[in-house]
Structure 1
Amino acid sequence: MAEHGAHLTTASATDNRPSIFEVVAQDSLMSAVRPALQHVAKVFAESNPARYGILWRWFDEIYTLLDLFLQQHYLSKVSASFSENFYGLKRVVLGTGNGDGTQRLASAGLPRVYCWKSLLFLVLLPYLRAKLEKLVSRLREEDEYSIHPPSSSWKKFYKAFLAAYPFVNMAWEGWILSQQLSYILGTARHHSPLLGLAGVRLVRLTQEDLLALEEKGDGETTVQPIVSIHKRLKSAFKKAAGGAAISISTGLSVGVFFLQFLDWWYSSENQETLKSLMALPTPPAPAHFTQDTYSPLLPKLKTVCPLCRKIRVNDTALATSGYVFCYRCAYFYVKHHQRCPVTGYPTEMQHLIKLYSPES
């Protein structure tokens, strides 16, 4: 059996083709970085909502911008994304040679057209997919609580959208799975349809690539004769930029395992285990929450909503702060600001908890 399965890891050595384990590992690398950084942003936002709340509210955009700069640097310098370079892989244009010397060296960078195509599928597509998933989650909550009138044309549209989305997502995941199976069997040149759409495929770094990258790194640190102040400043700027890029690359390579650990540590399964081991009784309410020392943001009457200043309708509490509002007030405020209106704590739609009195 071992002889029959040896092709999964060794048969690709002759044509520099990476194994399925390598390509899947590099795919999962960046997918583990995002939730870890998102949790870090959430911790900062909860510690100081006024100063760091923007990190949580605009996390998708900030992360996408940083990811764009990171991937563009690696694609233009080593012909690979960050995760691909981490596993010793590079991107080559479809139709080039198979390790016979006709391939473009990794140090030359990916051609401009293929670089922008790769950035489109590496950076922009994940951003749009994250936004789409948030939209689907929000629409499902609106449908569950009947935010829109039953006869509205908008509700009919998003009901059809919600019904079609699982099938579209299943078709996409099935396409990826079939591509990976074809790659394992050796009938496909790339494991992901996104690589085919970008017009590239993955291969291992060759000895020539490693030597060229090493020489390029040495050349960037070599002191060149300076004949003018303008050239001196330009050389210093390039050297500083190169040093910063190397520092960032090294830091990411070292920190990526720590980020994967954070992703596991704060996973739902691990948190449930920690809660069961460290469960403590609920502490009493803080003393400063008495009636005489309420914040100016809060009404004097406990039955009044802090947002609309009217008697609460359909009482809803925020799990992040414990304050109670009208459901409509809390829903639309959290939807647009992603924070508690009283405390400023980062809050999402799933933190809305409807309260039911015995009379209802």
Structure 2
Amino acid sequence: MAEYAAHLTSVADQARPSFFEVLAQESLTATLRPALSHFLKFIAEKNPGSYGWMFRYGDEIYALLDLILQNYFLAKTNGSFSENFYGMKRVPIKCSGPSVNKLSRREHLKSLAFLVFVPFIKLKLDKLFAKWKEGSRSGSWSNQSGMQKFQRVYIRIYPFIHMSWEGTFLLYQMRYLFQGINCHSPYMHLSGLKLVYLTPDDVLPEVSKAQRGTHPSTFQMKLLQGSKSLLGFVAFCLSQGLSVGVFFLQFLEWWYMYGDHQAQLAFTALPIPQPPKDELQSDVKHLLPENKSRCPLCQRKRTNDTTLSTSGFVFCYPCIFNYVQNHRCCPITKYPTSLDQVVKLYPPSD
């Protein structure tokens, strides 16, 4: 990368990355998830029947790809994808200089856990809080079930947990800014690692290592080496593709935001579409009640009428919110739908 050349003359006391470089690599990591989400939404809208599940399981797909990518970079460069992109790597906190040694297996696994698994769990907890908060109903504590009581407790205490979580990251960043600590986040502290600049030994190709390699003599060894080479090639292609595509992420973000804005402006000018009855699956045809005042999901008289901008069907707000939250599609047409397309209807008061 071009960024590497700026640090080839770095010495031990100059190996500490600046605060702004650390924030830049974290911002790059945060940009990758929305980019993949937009891509999955695009292909799901093109063919809901075949690719709709990819949009619904977008978080899991991103976590799997992120696991492959981060594992590859941690093994090859001692740093994550974004850290390597900005010319940084991970070394033990107690290390006085930019060591060229590889991360130990324990440090490697800890880094993977805090790069992939912990953020995935945090994301699921955030979505669970939003789901339960929107679907919560007030009532007497004694008349509620055990699960409903747990949801109420979770809704009450999770904002404080989230505030403490974010406050801890802010505290670490402020201490790092004023050089009070060597690691910029609690993740790095718990991993026992810190960030330093890449050195010339890290950047220059290891030709001698490749020349010292021996040729496998058995079929099993050849098969094992071929499998490793194939996996490494896939990870390498993925990493290089991301390295090139990262320059276009800001443009894609603007493009999708602009497109969504234009679609919202043009939405009210479009005529109401006819229900795509020919595309309705047999297991959802019974959802359409003869009485138009009933909710297609609960089959009872609608309360707090809510429609979907993707299809125009009207439901009860708790029913359709929970369905879209869990299935990411319209229950009638199966079109991909997000919570942003759930629209409450407010009839004029008498």
Q: What is the TM-score of this pair, normalised by structure 1? A: 0.80
Write the distance in 1 (CA, Å) between the matches of 2:33 and 2:196: 25
Q: Which residue of 2 aligns with 1:209?
A: 202
Write the distance in 2 (CA, Å) between the matches of 1:192 and 1:155: 35
Relative distance call for 1:275 and 1:314 in structure 2 (3 A) is closer
Contact 2:10/2:197 (<8 A) preserved? no
C-alpha deviation, 1:350, in angstroms = 4.6
C-alpha deviation, 1:184, in angstroms = 2.0
C-alpha deviation, 1:71, in angstroms = 0.7
Q: Which residue of 2 aligns with 1:266?
A: 256
Write the distance in 2 (CA, Å) between the matches of 1:337 and 1:149: 30
Per-residue CA deviation, residues 15-67 of structure 1 (Å, 9 max, x unaligned), is 41111111111111110000111111112222211111111111111111111
Per-residue CA deviation, residues 111-159 of structure 1 (Å, 9 max, x unaligned), is 100011111110011101111110111122023xx28776425445433
Question: Residue 338 in 1 paired to residue 337 in 2?
Answer: no
Write the distance in 1 (CA, Å) between the matches of 2:56 and 2:19: 37
Alignment of 1:209-248 (within 5 A): 209-211=202-204, 214-215=205-206, 225=215, 227-248=217-238
Relative distance call for 1:223 and 1:75 in structure 2 (3 A) is closer
Q: Which residue of 2 aligns with 1:255?
A: 245
Per-residue CA deviation, residues 281-307 of structure 1 (Å, 9 max, x unaligned), is 522234x559x9896724455444434
Write the distance in 2 (CA, Å) between the matches of 1:280 and 1:315: 20
Q: Which residue of 1 aligns with 2:57?
A: 58
Relative distance call for 1:95 and 1:328 in structure 2 (3 A) is closer
Relative distance call for 1:322 and 1:273 in structure 2 (3 A) is closer
Greater relative CO (CA pairs within 8 A, separation 6+):
2
Q: 3-state DSSP class of the match of 2:132?
A: helix
Write the distance in 1 (CA, Å) between the matches of 2:256 and 2:140: 39
Write the distance in 1 (CA, Å) between the matches of 2:44 and 2:32: 18
1:179 to 168, 172, 187: 172
Write the distance in 2 (CA, Å) between the matches of 1:149 and 1:47: 46
Q: 3-state DSSP class of the match of 2:190?
A: helix
Write the distance in 1 (CA, Å) between the matches of 2:10 and 2:165: 29
1:142 to 127, 135, 142: 135
Deviates more, 1:196-205 or 1:152-161: 152-161
Q: 3-state DSSP class of the match of 2:75?
A: helix
Identity rate of aligned residues, in percent? 42
Q: Which residue of 1 aligns with 2:270?
A: 283
Q: 3-state DSSP class of the match of 2:206?
A: helix
Q: Which residue of 1 aligns with 2:3?
A: none
Write the distance in 1 (CA, Å) between the matches of 2:272 and 2:166: 48
Per-residue CA deviation, residues 149-173 of structure 1 (Å, 9 max, x unaligned), is 7642544543343333333322222
Contact 1:294/1:300 (<8 A) preserved? no
Q: Which sections of structure 1, spanning at least 5 residues, go unmatched?
A: 1-9
Q: 3-state DSSP class of the match of 1:325?
A: strand
Q: Which residue of 1 aligns with 2:118?
A: 125
2:308 to 301, 318, 333: 318
Write the distance in 2 (CA, Å) between the matches of 1:357 and 1:203: 60
Contact 2:91/2:195 (<8 A) preserved? yes
Contact 2:306/2:342 (<8 A) preserved? yes
Write the distance in 2 (CA, Å) between the matches of 1:110 and 1:117: 10
Question: Residue 162 in 1 paired to residue 155 in 2?
Answer: yes
Q: Which residue of 2 aligns with 1:41?
A: 40
Q: Which residue of 2 aligns with 1:3?
A: none
Relative distance call for 1:221 and 1:67 in structure 2 (3 A) is farther
Write the distance in 2 (CA, Å) between the matches of 1:81 and 1:289: 48
C-alpha deviation, 1:14, in angstroms = 2.8
Q: What is the TM-score of this pair, normalised by structure 2? A: 0.82
Question: Residue 75 in 1 paired to residue 74 in 2?
Answer: yes
Q: Which residue of 2 aligns with 1:104?
A: 100
Q: Which residue of 2 aligns with 1:87?
A: 86
Write the distance in 2 (CA, Å) between the matches of 1:163 and 1:305: 30
Question: Residue 21 in 1 paired to residue 20 in 2?
Answer: yes
Per-residue CA deviation, residues 256-290 of structure 1 (Å, 9 max, x unaligned), is 222233234334xx5686569x657522234x559
Relative distance call for 1:131 and 1:12 in structure 2 (3 A) is farther
Contact 1:149/1:155 (<8 A) preserved? no
Write the distance in 2 (CA, Å) between the matches of 1:355 and 1:113: 54
Write the distance in 2 (CA, Å) between the matches of 1:46 and 1:353: 19
